A and B are shown apart, each in its own frame.
Chain A
């Protein structure tokens, strides 16, 4: 129902979004995954008609929305990356205002406010000022405000940045329910791959303004089907040992942390013998070895040589 065609945005000398073609089908939950600065917010601003593309097109039901953004705006609920609320007002007052903007009034308005407040679980605290809310609660109102006009498509730009795990789970659960039970189409942007992995049927991975991979989660992980991720934990940090292990013949990628090391190796490679041998030589104690199935994070690592958090 919604697609972008070679969408491009250039700011002075940064190419923020480069030739991006996405597609959203009705009822789908699609993830847009990429590190900070990948161009996700810029892409979303263009899709939601807030920013004019340098070139390319955005279409709703096959019709371009660049000239006449009205249809798109009616269909979309946009949850911005920043918390776009009047913080000196209560949650209730905020929602009432955003409802009024869409011409809601009287009983209908009250009903809708009641519904979205229940949805985000803030019905009993609606009279409190937004500025007195926790970050997580503010994020929930941020979502609720985008739901006031019963949109068909929900576009979310990193809706869980900087919130506590509990609020995060609540929010993710809410979005999942909207998608699964109410048939809401969802475009979910994040740089947390766990979220996208949990929530989305299909994923676009962006980096430096470009879509570098796309498809169902299974398809993306198939990129790594010939590989294994081995995660090794030590009793303390051994920089020299980590270096040595990374250089073992056959290791395709290594990512060292404080006391642990992640290695991507070809399936069937016999790593463990040399691992324990090297550990012995460095006097290191291996406390845990774990062979993982690949995650989207690993896919990103494989595609770009960097982690999402870089």
Chain B
């Protein structure tokens, strides 16, 4: 087994390009996108046609409390020309009990802007309704909030300040490592094609040692990739990842195992190297999209996709990583995810090896 395992490193040493490319791509994607997110909050012009100025300014103040966007009150004509000239993708028109978005061009932040506005509006409207019965409700609420009966330390959906950046980092890392792992497993297919696999069978080395030599390498190369990237972003780029770094690494190990196993299953189903080089990107991208590597899974509402995401290892990997790094949870809260990853991996390995052997015998 050791010989088979070491051979894979030898081959890696001779042809390191693919793995290095995945490593570098992750870093580039994360740092470029995260750098964009680190700017000032996005500037959004606000105007009104129907409200009084003081009332409108109050609203702007209330909206700016959220700190997610920088709202600025201006005259309707001014706001319109901002949008018309494409300086901003959108502006907000405030009304008594509603708001409207003046849209110039497509913008990825619109979804977040819209949901935030809706939330603030419905909160405020509820307050107003309640205030008709209990005039001092706002004061009561404020004092209750500053002295709560129950203190919860969990953050909001955004969690700690680096939440978005972390989601991006985890998503991209778990996505690109799928390529590294699965393409390293294609070597098994290549060995069977060229006949070096038969040479190994003829030697005293056992079948399971041959498989484990390969799987061990794929695991280690994938695991190293994730770990190195986490270390790099934590220590060199200063990403805040919570106090349980070791738990992140443990999650990475479980996730890597599940992807190695899935890769094994895939090569047991698809024997031709050319087909594999088409299937692997489809699997990687598909899983990443549905599992929430490209955007938070909270944005997915389609029932079918949500159900599918429940059987994808990447969903559990991301869930666990986010839970630990963003919300500061410990092992108990991610135990289920880890068990799912390990179980998934175990099942795929068993089926994969069985299929590979069954095929080579017949």
Contact = CB atoms under 8 A, between A and B. Distances in A.
Contact of B202 (A52, A78, A93): A78
A50 B201 CA distance: 8
Given A86-B11, A89-B14, A101 B204 contact: yes
Nearest to A100: B3
A102 interface: yes
23 contacts: A48-B202, A49-B202, A50-B202, A73-B202, A73-B203, A76-B202, A78-B199, A80-B195, A82-B195, A83-B194, A84-B196, A84-B199, A85-B194, A86-B196, A87-B194, A88-B14, A89-B11, A89-B14, A97-B3, A97-B7, A101-B204, A102-B203, A102-B204
For the complex, would chain A's binding face be called helix, strand, loop or mixed by DSSP majority? loop
A70 B202 CA distance: 8
A98 B199 contact: yes
Interface in A200-259: none
B198 A52 contact: no
Nearest to B196: A84
A109 to B, nearest CB: 11
B212 to A, nearest CB: 14
A103 B204 contact: yes
Nearest to B195: A84
Given A80-B199, A84-B196, A85-B194, 10 more contacts: A76-B202, A82-B195, A84-B199, A89-B10, A89-B11, A97-B7, A100-B6, A101-B3, A101-B200, A102-B203
Contacts of A103: 204
A145 interface: yes
Contact of B194 (A84, A97, A102): A84
Interface of B: 3, 6-7, 10-11, 14-15, 194-196, 198-205, 361
Contacts of A74: 204
Given A52-B361, A101-B204, A88 B11 contact: yes
Contacts of B15: 88
Most B CB within 10 A of own CB, among A49, A83, A97: A97
A82 B193 CA distance: 9
A85 B14 CA distance: 15
Contacts of B205: 101
A98 B3 CA distance: 9
Interface in A30-50: 48-50
A14 B11 CA distance: 39
* Shortest 10 CB-CB contacts between residues of A and residues of B: A84-B195, A101-B203, A100-B3, A82-B195, A80-B195, A84-B196, A73-B202, A97-B7, A88-B14, A101-B205
Nearest to B205: A101
A103 B3 CA distance: 9
B122 to A, nearest CB: 62
B205 to A, nearest CB: 5
B7 A50 contact: no
Contacts of B6: 100
Nearest to B193: A82
B135 to A, nearest CB: 80
B3 A84 contact: no
Contacts of B14: 88-89, 129
Interface in A289-303: none
A126 to B, nearest CB: 15
A73 B205 CA distance: 11
Contacts of A52: 361
A52 B10 CA distance: 33
B66 to A, nearest CB: 56
Nearest to A80: B195
A187 to B, nearest CB: 15
A146 B198 CA distance: 11
A88 B13 CA distance: 10
A161 to B, nearest CB: 14
Nearest to A73: B202
B170 to A, nearest CB: 33
